[in-house]
C-alpha cells in the first residue's frame, strides 16, 4: 500500500531554512515541499532602499537553502510565486496542488513571509483541515521547538453546551482549586470515575438511571435518580474529543499497555478558555 502524500507548504521568510529543517525533523513523513513567496521578493525595483534589498536577498538565500536541503533528502521542493492579493493567489495555487495530489495530507509553516501571505495560508489550512505550525527563533539559523497553532475542529457552541465535554477538558487541564494548571496525563479509568457523578445525559429518553441510596431530596424525602454513565457512552465522548483534536491519547507508564492515557491538547486548552 502506497503511503499517503504529505504536502508541506512554507511561507517564505529570512529564517525559513532553519524552520524547514526543524519541520522535517519533527514531522518526518513529508513527501513534497512547496515554498510560497510574495512575487515582490523576486522583483527588483529602483525604489528599493538598502534595507529592502538586503531583506529580499536574505529571503532568496533562505529559499535556496531549503531547495538544497530538500535535494539532499530526496524530497521534491518547488517555489510558488504569489501575486497580490495573497488570499486569492494562495487559494488558486493550493487548489492546483490539491488537484495534482488527491488525498494528500497538508501541513503549513507560517514562521516567515508577509502578514498577508501567512494569513492566507492559515485560512487555507482551516479549509483543508491541515495543521499549521510556527517556529520561534532564538538566533540566526536556529529554530526552537515548533508550536502547533490551536485550531479547534469542532464549533465552540457544540462543546460548550455539553457539560460532559467541558468536565473532561477541565479535569485534564489541571487540578481544580490549585494554581497548577499544567496539562496532566491521566488514565481512562480515572477520567471515568471523575465523570460518573457529574454525567449529564444529552438524550431526553432511554437513559438508564440509578436510585441513589445516599442522596435524598430535602423536600420530598425521595431518593435521588442519578443517570448511569456506561463505558460505551464514555468511549463515545472521548472519541469525539480526540477526533476534534481536543484530547490526545498518549503512552502510559512503562509496562502498562492495557490502560489508555490522555492529555489535553493546545486546541482543547483554547476551547476550554473560550467556553
- Per-residue model confidence as pLDDT tens for the chain (275 residues): 467 899 999 999 988 888 899 889 888 899 999 999 999 999 988 888 999 999 999 999 999 999 999 999 999 999 999 998 888 899 899 999 999 988 899 999 998 888 899 989 998 888 888 888 887 654 444 445 556 676 667 777 888 888 999 999 999 987 554 555 556 889 999 999 999 888 888 766 655 666 555 666 556 667 667 788 889 999 999 999 999 889 999 887 766 677 899 999 878 887 887 77
Please list, in sequence order, all residues whose beta carbon lies within 8 angstroms of the beta carbon of residue 259, skipping any fewer than 6 positions away: 187, 188, 189, 252
List, in sequence order, every residue forming a beta bridge with 11; answer none if it has no partner.
36
Q: Cell numbers 513523513 label which residue?
A: 29
What is the architecture of the domain spanning 6-148?
3-Layer(aba) Sandwich (3.40)
CATH of domain 156-274: 1.10.10.10
The predicted pLDDT at position 224 comes to 66
pTM for the full model? Answer: 0.65
Number of residues that make up the chain: 275
Q: How far is CA 165 from CA 3, 200, 211, 245, in A?
A: 34, 10, 24, 13
Q: Cell numbers 486546541 label which residue?
A: 267
- Residue 221 is placed in which grid cell? 424525602
Domain boundaries of the chain, sorted by first residue: 6-148, 156-274
Reported as type and span, the H/E element at residue 272 is helix 266-274
Amino acid at each position: 500500500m502506497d503511503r499517503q502524500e504529505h504536502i508541506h507548504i512554507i511561507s517564505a521568510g529570512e529564517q525559513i531554512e532553519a524552520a524547514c529543517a526543524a519541520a522535517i525533523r519533527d514531522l518526518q513523513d513529508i513527501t513534497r515541499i512547496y515554498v510560497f513567496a510574495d512575487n515582490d521578493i523576486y522583483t527588483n525595483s529602483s525604489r528599493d532602499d538598502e534595507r529592502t534589498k538586503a531583506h529580499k536577498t536574505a529571503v532568496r538565500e533562505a529559499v535556496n537553502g531549503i531547495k538544497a536541503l530538500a535535494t539532499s533528502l530526496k524530497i521534491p521542493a518547488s517555489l510558488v510565486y504569489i501575486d497580490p492579493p495573497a488570499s486569492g493567489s494562495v487559494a488558486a495555487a493550493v487548489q492546483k496542488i490539491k488537484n495534482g495530489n488527491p488525498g494528500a495530507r497538508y501541513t503549513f509553516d507560517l514562521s516567515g513571509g508577509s502578514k498577508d501571505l501567512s494569513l492566507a495560508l492559515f485560512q487555507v489550512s482551516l479549509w483543508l483541515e491541515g495543521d499549521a505550525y510556527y517556529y520561534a527563533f532564538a538566533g540566526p539559523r536556529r529554530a526552537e521547538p515548533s508550536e502547533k497553532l490551536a485550531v479547534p475542529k469542532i464549533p465552540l457552541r457544540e462543546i460548550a453546551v455539553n457539560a460532559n465535554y467541558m468536565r473532561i477538558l477541565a479535569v485534564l487541564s489541571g487540578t481544580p482549586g490549585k494554581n497548577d494548571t499544567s496539562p496532566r496525563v491521566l488514565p481512562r479509568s480515572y477520567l471515568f470515575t471523575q465523570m460518573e457523578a457529574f454525567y449529564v445525559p444529552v438524550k431526553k429518553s432511554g437513559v438508564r438511571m440509578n436510585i441513589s441510596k445516599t442522596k435524598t431530596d430535602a423536600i420530598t424525602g425521595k431518593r435521588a435518580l442519578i443517570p448511569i454513565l456506561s463505558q460505551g457512552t464514555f468511549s463515545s465522548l472521548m472519541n469525539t474529543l480526540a477526533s476534534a483534536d481536543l484530547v490526545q491519547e498518549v503512552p502510559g507508564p512503562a509496562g502498562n499497555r492495557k490502560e489508555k492515557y490522555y492529555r489535553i491538547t493546545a486546541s482543547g486548552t483554547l476551547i476550554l478558555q473560550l467556553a
